[in-house]
Amino acid sequence: MAITDFLEKNAKLYPSEISLVEINPANQPDHAVTWREYNLIESSSTEKYRREMTWKEFDVKANRFSNLLLTRGIRKGDKVAVLLMNCLEWLPIYFGILKTGALAVPMNYRYTADEIRYCLDLSEASTLIFGPEFIGRVEQVYDHLHKVKTVFFVGDCKPSFTDSYDQLVSYCSSTAPAVELLDDDDAAIYFSSGTTGFPKAILHSHAALVSSCLTEQNHHAQSRDDVFLCIPPLYHTGAKMHWFGSLLSGSKAVILRGIRPDWILQAVSEEKATLVWLLVPWVQDILDAIERGDILLESYRLDQWRLMHIGAQPVPPSLVHRWKQVFPDHQYDTNYGLSESIGPGCVHLGVENIHKVGAIGKAGHLWEAAIVNESGDPVAAGEAGELIVKGPGVMKCYYNNPQATTEILKDGWLYTGDVARMDEDGFIYLVDRKKDVIISGGENLYPVQIEDFLRAHGAIKDVAVIGMPDERLGEMAAAIIELKNGAVCTEGDILAFCMDLPRYKRPRKIIFANVPRNPTGKIEKPRLREIYCGKRLVEAQTTN
């Protein structure tokens, strides 16, 4: 079956029930109103404070967009890129693409103009749909896009080179297009990357997306009474595949546009959220705000909140213990995964295994997991090796990159590049990452990109970027900089130079020192981590 079948089923069974809610607390009115009244209040801007959509409306909007795409010549196998901030339109657009038989290509909203162009070319996208936050970046590369023929704009005041999604979609048929979708049909391209810099394109089938629905609901037992609070970006496999549990169960989800601790708790309270997926910095911020007295828990209705799970980065066990002290009745869970494994869940801790906090768990529902040596043979319990996984959510390939595909897919197993060990009870613990990717606040930072940028500074002879432990972000980027002989340069000079980088890519620590390289010319990053981090990052939880 296709992932779109679940949407159509919900539209038939629960047509008038709420499927999605969008809350934008930055547009909160000056006078006191409940969030349930936000639908009735018009903002001075084009956005309302609270918008909602029934399952029937969700399906109709997806059908209308799919029919709009068909009128523009989009056919099965074509690629349609989505560049939007989280909003109520995001998922209907995604499903509208899938209903045509085309591939949805979600894009990171933090991409620079060059990264946008690169990913559009790599995925061979012929259509782009984007929102107002990206006008400047898209304008920079529009004349250099080789394959994009159609561009839709979501919002008011559209640029001249785009067509209006909002105006055109309303004239299209609300009936589902007659396109046959099969399990093995290509469905989506997601982006990932190693330390080489620019992302690889990860190809997934409808069967993989369906499997993620089944895995997610098995792990977190979503029912129609649940309400999922979705805060992380929908372009990411993690957020979307966790929401797939709501899709499968026909339950409501709330998209919160903002991460302030009081906004999160207000959304949980007013929308009666029962499941919340958070990142480490947000958990830290909530707990800190409670301890400072900035947040009074008695001001919120939180009794219905049953599950908090953390994802997308290493999770300090001490943070989980601290959360349980404040919220002793909460279930806690974590999932490990990669975009190559259709996001979270290929390894799963389980709410019943809170005593194993520090482990990432065992093979998830429908998955197998093993730890192997360099020859691909299983290692003994307690020994370190590479974590490999196998299941229905493994990617089909890296799109247009057969060499990279063969390096990571072997006999149906996905080689994760993460070093792990298994205890005597079969629980898996991550030991280190073979890749040098830095995971900071749930976002992947690619050291080579930052290093290449810094090398353009006239005073820099050599540079290495590594991840250093950070209590709030999990890791932060640190730049070890070797200056040219006689060059004078300060930390302030480097930080000012880095202002041209996206904020999340800027190094948070500058160290002036020699950059060691081995005889083949490679930077000795393990040695740098040993010097500046003091110890290896061991047995840290990592998720999708």
List, for residues 453-470, the tens digit of each pLDDT value: 898 898 998 899 999 999
Question: For 174-197, how does the pLDDT look when each residue is reduced to its tens digit (9 = 90+)?
Answer: 999 999 999 999 999 999 854 345
pLDDT tops 90 at residue 526: no
pLDDT tops 80 at residue 376: yes
Give the whole-angstrom CA distance, residue 300 versus residue 230. 18
Q: Report the candidate in 234, 331, 329, 345 with the shortest Cα–Cα distance to residue 276.
A: 331
Give the whole-angstrom CA distance, residue 66 versus residue 70. 6
- Which of 63-72, 299-308, 428-437 is the least confident region? 428-437
- Which of 52-61, 149-158, 188-197 is the least confident region? 188-197
The mean pLDDT value for 342-368 works out to 94
* Cα angle, residue 64 at apex, residues 116 and 77 outer, rounded to 5°: 50
- Tell me whether the CATH fold assigned to 330-433 matches the one assigned to 438-533: no
CATH number 3.10.290.10 given to 438-533 = no
Question: For 425-456, how does the pLDDT look when each residue is reduced to its tens digit (9 = 90+)?
Answer: 999 988 766 667 788 888 878 787 788 789 88
| DSSP, residue by residue, 265-301 | HHHHHHHT--EEEE-HHHHHHHHHHHHHTSS-GGGS-
The mean pLDDT value for 241-251 works out to 97
Torsion of CA 281, 283, 285, 287, to 10 degrees: -150
**Higher-pLDDT residue of 371, 432:** 371
CATH number 3.40.50.12780 given to 4-258 = yes
The mean pLDDT value for 284-300 works out to 92
The mean pLDDT value for 487-507 works out to 93
Q: Where are the domains of the chain?
A: 4-258, 330-433, 438-533
pLDDT tops 60 at residue 34: no
This prediction has a pTM of 0.83
**What value does the CA radius of gyration of the chain take, rounded to a whole number of Å?**
23
| Confidence class for position 46, pLDDT limits 50, 70, 90 | very low
pLDDT score for 434? 67
pLDDT tops 90 at residue 535: no
- What percent of the chain is modeled with pLDDT above 90? 72
The structure tokens listed for 364 are 């998830």
pLDDT score for 394? 98
Question: For 398-429, how does the pLDDT look when each residue is reduced to its tens digit (9 = 90+)?
Answer: 999 999 999 999 999 999 988 889 999 999 98
pLDDT score for 314? 61
Top CATH class of 330-433 equals mainly beta
Cβ atoms 361, 348 nearer than 8 A: yes
The structure tokens listed for 176 are 């589902």
Q: Report the candidate in 418, 428, 432 with the shortest Cα–Cα distance to residue 363.
A: 428
pLDDT tops 80 at residue 529: yes
What value does the mean pLDDT of the chain take? 89
- What percent of the chain is modeled with pLDDT above 70? 92
The mean pLDDT value for 218-234 works out to 96
Question: For 79-124, how does the pLDDT look when each residue is reduced to its tens digit (9 = 90+)?
Answer: 999 999 999 999 999 999 999 999 999 999 988 899 999 999 999 9
